[in-house]
Amino acid sequence: MTLAAARPQLSHLRALESEAIHVMREVAAELERPVLLFSGGKDSIVLLRLAEKAFRPAPFPFPLMHVDTGHNFPEVIEFRDRRVAELGERLIVASVQESIDSGRAVEETGPRASRNRLQTVTLLDAIAKHDFDAAFGGARRDEERARAKERVFSFRDDFGQWDPKNQRPELWNLYNGRIRKGENVRVFPLSNWTELDVWEYIAQEQLEVPSIYFAHERAVFSRDGMLYAWREGVELIDGEQVFSEMVRYRTVGDMSCTGGVRSRALTLDEVVTEIAATRITERGETRADDRVSEAAMEDRKKAGYF
């Protein structure tokens, strides 16, 4: 049995980073109109840094796009705008509200209403409108069971649908991005990264993230075992109370479906320590959208979700 070299040449983060940069450059080279989906969340923040590493000193060969539900944390929107301005890149905002207003999407009602599912319509419409043929997303395979099987290049048909039985074999680092008109590819450069990798990378690169990722005082209410942010217009169910709590967010989705966790982690290092010790997956703890059914994510992907 042979032993490994005493000192690895490249740390795992650097190896993962290099792989992700390679993926982004392949897309730029082989597809014609890519877009980078930027939500202001930690995974898309890492994607932006990777894009800088891949393409600087030139401008990105693609715009950024945010599918805005209208129910985002204000801190995240502020962060988004500031970061985009810093980078000097172009941002397209696709609005779920506009989809609702134009009758393309129907608002959910009731106390558990969320615009999460509606994002799919807005996303697909925006892709069609701008004729994008590839969209970078920050999804990782460790996030959730249905994503464990995703390829790096995830093929969507012209209805935006994902068919798990029909994915292309992905060998070595040779990606096949050939598509027909009207089809598009979702590309996930962070496929092999874990939640902890993402945070360690953010710490390594000293990347700024929206303040809600750190512990802060917030008005919340408890529902279905999660802590939701209270905001104007939220319908409380009988017995639910709003109270103040020190929370941070492990993931940034729409406010209506993202739960915060109790935390005292005020700095990046403290967040990393908490996560390293955590016993509950990021999505399990905080995303109501995945709880609907065991196969919730899979079903949404088949319908064209991220």
Nearer to other proteins, 242 or 295 (CB): 295
Q: How far is the CB of 138 from other proteins (least distance, A)?
A: 16
Nearer to other proteins, 1 or 233 (CB): 1
Between CA 154 and CA 152 the distance in angstroms is 6
Between CA 149 and CA 187 the distance in angstroms is 14
Between CA 152 and CA 140 the distance in angstroms is 9
Q: How far is the CB of 155 from other proteins (least distance, A)?
A: 9
Nearer to other proteins, 100 or 146 (CB): 146
- Amino acid identity for residue 239 in this structure: G
Between CA 86 and CA 229 the distance in angstroms is 29
Nearer to other proteins, 179 or 220 (CB): 179
Q: How far is the CB of 161 from other proteins (least distance, A)?
A: 15
Q: How far is the CB of 10 from other proteins (least distance, A)?
A: 6
Q: How far is the CB of 271 from other proteins (least distance, A)?
A: 17
CA atoms within 13 A on the CB side of 34: 25
Residues in touch with other proteins (CB under 8 A): 1-5, 7-12, 14-19, 21-22, 25-26, 28-29, 52-59, 86-88, 141-142, 145-146, 148-149, 164-165, 167-174, 176, 178-180, 191-192, 194, 196-197, 278-281, 284-285, 294-295, 298
Nearer to other proteins, 5 or 217 (CB): 5
Q: Measured between alpha carbons, how far is residue 64 from residues 1, 10, 16, 79 in Å?
A: 49, 30, 22, 14
Are the beta carbons of 247 and 218 closer than 8 angstroms?
yes
